[in-house]
């Protein structure tokens, strides 16, 4: 009797004595967590992904005050996503050709090296925009190899009946990382600056390395020769092209991802974002805008928190098929223009004299805000700073709560020359009393003839 026959006999005896079939694996949304290997690797992927999302925020924030910030931020997103477009099939071929556990380990080591180098160089202020984009692209290359390696690996970690639940948990990990990573990056940047965010990414990756090293995977016996790279790449392309289900999934993904990644800022420093979509005339849509970060959401009438508003797309003219929503340019109540007065943070909505103006000497300088404001200190003495030729102009500042304004009255009348005005150190007083300090100092200049 062979060894296999003996194994079969023992299985039959055990089934006969027990009087029932061997117990099937448990099912349920959290059933895959019963596998310790899957649980620890899943946690490792979550923590590593949190670091990756933090890395993206840090890379975008590194040049936020650069004159070309809008272009750099857009290119960072492009450099992050482009490797997945170019190398996803390559990553799949590598995943099939090599041991996935070892490949995952080497990819994580690669992540640690790249993130650590970026952290070190950025702390020394040696990262120009082009080098930042190169590092971001390099990290994207690692992601393009890791994703098609990790997802097939799930099938080795749980029984077949739990694969669907494990896949859903993998999707949960993506959303958890996407929510937590930017939040942690914001806290780290506020407290320590951008370079520690890159170091945090490297540290997060170490957890997954440890989980992979602790996994004592049973060695696999190769029963066939390893497929050559180019034939395998062509075979993958043919499969995607001729498999209807896979083709439908990819089309749906493209329809979602292309518009979602097209969002750009209208102008550097404007904090106004726009997206261009091809939507037929007369189509009802739901939409919502955020400003700055995810936790600062506009308020307008009944639209609070995360409630969407509904509007109908209408062509501007037979030859102009565009329509602009929320350019925040005026205070009317139509859906074409929502006022900036509804953002939570303090925003300057008007000044007298206006920025860039010239004329007779004004008696005072008045600054109007979207909300009534208070000082971020004890009084308004630092809220408006006026200078001429580099010398400070003295004066007093008064507050008008009803008009939501501050007025600077000079100690002596303004004389001929150019004056610069800086507005800072004010906090908005919203309806919910959850005001936010002015994000960046507001500056203007005017000339007295």
Domain chopping of the chain, boundaries: 29-217, 264-343, 348-448
Four-way CATH pick for 348-448: 2.40.50.180, 2.60.40.1220, 1.10.1060.10, 3.90.1010.10: 2.60.40.1220
Is 200:180 a contact under the CB 8 Å cutoff? no
> How far apart (Å, rounded) are the C-alpha atoms in residues 387 and 391?
5
Q: CA 59, CA 201: separation in Å to the nearest integer?
A: 12
Strands (E), 85-222: none
DSSP one-letter code for 303: B
Bridge partners of residue 375, in order along the sequence: 426
Short-list 336, 330, 35, 286, CA closest to 159: 35
* Phi, psi angles (nearest 5°) of residue 44: -60, -40
Written out in words, the top-level CATH class of the domain with range 29-217 is mainly alpha
- What pLDDT is stored for residue 235 in this prediction? 76
Using only the alpha carbons of the chain, give its radius of gyration. Answer: 29
Q: Give the per-residue pLDDT at 16.
A: 37
* Burial 142-159, CB ≥16 within 10 A → b, else e: bbbbbebbbeebbeebbb
Q: In this structure, are residues 32 and 165 in contact, taking their beta carbons and an 8 Å threshold?
A: yes
In 3D space, the residue among 181, 179, 182, 158 whose CA is nearest the CA of residue 168 turns out to be 158
Cα–Cα distance, 140 to 52 (Å, whole number): 10
Cβ 303 vs Cβ 309: under 8 Å: yes
pLDDT at 352: 94
Instruction: Give the Cα separation of 188 and 338 in Å (integer).
Output: 33
* CB 96 within 8 Å of CB 227: yes
Q: What is the pLDDT along the chain (449 residues), one digit of tens a residue?
A: 444 443 333 333 333 333 444 456 666 778 888 888 889 999 999 999 999 889 888 888 887 767 677 778 778 888 888 888 888 778 777 877 788 888 889 999 999 999 999 999 998 989 888 999 999 999 999 988 888 888 888 888 888 888 888 888 888 888 888 889 888 988 888 888 889 999 999 999 998 999 889 887 766 555 455 667 677 677 777 777 778 887 787 777 777 666 655 544 433 344 444 455 566 666 666 655 444 433 334 433 333 444 455 566 666 666 666 665 554 444 444 444 444 444 566 778 889 999 999 999 999 999 998 778 999 888 899 999 999 988 999 999 999 999 999 999 999 999 999 999 999 999 888 766 656 777 678 899 999 99
pLDDT of residue 392: 94
Q: What is the largest CA-CA distance in the chain?
A: 111
The DSSP result for 171-182, as a single string, is HHHHHHHHHHHH
Q: How far apart are CA 335 and CA 324, in angstroms?
A: 9
Helix spans in 262-332 (H): none
- What separation in angstroms does the CA of 99 have from each of 94, 144, 220, 226, 294? 9, 17, 9, 11, 40
**Side-chain-side CA neighbours of residue 107 (13 Å):** 26
For residue 360, the 8-state DSSP code is S
**What confidence score (pLDDT) does residue 275 get?**
54
| Its pTM surpasses 0.75 | no
Q: CA-CA distance, 344 to 288, in Å (whole number)?
A: 15
Residues 6+ apart with CB under 8 A from 147: 84, 88, 91
Cβ within 8 Å of residue 159, ≥6 positions away: 25
Indicate if 348-448 has the same CATH topology as 29-217.
no
Coil, strand, or helix at residue 120?
A: helix
- Is the link from the previous residue into 353 a cis peptide, with omega within 30 of 0? yes
pLDDT, residue 22, reads 47
Number of DSSP helices (H) and strands (E) in the chain, helices first: 9, 15
Distance, CA of 369 to CA of 403 (rounded, Å): 9
Q: How far is CA 57 from CA 43, 74, 189, 251, in A?
A: 21, 12, 9, 28
């Amino acid at each position: 009797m062979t060894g296999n026959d003996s194994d079969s006999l023992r299985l039959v005896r055990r089934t006969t004595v027990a009087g029932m079939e061997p117990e099937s694996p448990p099912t349920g949304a959290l059933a895959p967590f019963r596998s310790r290997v899957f649980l620890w690797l899943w946690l490792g992927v979550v923590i590593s992904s949190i670091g990756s999302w933090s890395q993206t925020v840090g890379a975008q924030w590194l040049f936020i005050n650069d004159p070309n910030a809008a272009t750099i931020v857009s290119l960072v997103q492009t450099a992050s996503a482009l490797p997945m477009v170019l190398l996803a099939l390559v990553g799949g071929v590598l995943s099939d050709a090599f041991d996935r556990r070892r490949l995952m380990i080497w990819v994580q080591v690669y992540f640690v090296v790249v993130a650590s180098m970026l952290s070190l160089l950025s702390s020394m202020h040696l990262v120009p925009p082009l080098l930042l984009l190169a590092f971001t692209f390099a990290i994207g290359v690692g992601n393009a190899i890791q994703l098609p390696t990790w997802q097939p690996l799930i099938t080795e970690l749980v029984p077949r009946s739990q694969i669907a639940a494990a896949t859903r948990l993998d999707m949960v990990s993506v959303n958890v990382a996407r929510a937590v990573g930017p939040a942690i990056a914001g806290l780290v940047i506020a407290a320590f600056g951008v370079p520690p965010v890159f170091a945090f990414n490297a540290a997060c990756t170490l957890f997954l390395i440890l989980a992979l090293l602790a996994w004592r995977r049973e060695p696999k016996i190769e029963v066939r020769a390893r497929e050559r790279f180019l034939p395998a790449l062509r075979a993958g392309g043919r499969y995607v092209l001729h498999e209807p289900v896979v083709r439908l999934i990819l089309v749906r993904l493209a329809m979602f991802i292309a518009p979602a990644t097209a969002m750009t800022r209208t102008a550097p420093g404007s904090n106004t974002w726009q997206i261009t979509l091809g939507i037929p005339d007369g189509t009802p849509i739901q939409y919502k805008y955020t400003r700055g970060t995810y936790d600062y959401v506009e308020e307008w009438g009944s639209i609070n928190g995360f409630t969407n508003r509904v509007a109908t797309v209408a062509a501007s003219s037979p030859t102009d098929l565009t329509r602009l929503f929320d350019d925040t340019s005026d205070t009317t109540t139509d859906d074409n223009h929502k006022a900036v007065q509804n953002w939570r943070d303090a925003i300057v909505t008007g000044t007298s004299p206006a920025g860039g103006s010239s004329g007779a000497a004004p008696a005072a300088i008045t600054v109007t805000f979207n909300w009534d404001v208070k000082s971020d200190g004890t009084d308004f003495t630092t809220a408006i700073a006026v200078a001429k030729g580099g010398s400070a102009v003295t004066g007093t500042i008064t507050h008008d709560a009803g008009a939501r304004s501050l007025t600077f009255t000079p100690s002596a009348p303004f004389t001929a020359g150019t004056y610069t005005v800086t507005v800072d150190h004010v906090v908005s007083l919203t309806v919910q009393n959850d005001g936010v300090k002015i994000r960046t100092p507001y500056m203007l200049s005017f000339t007295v003839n």
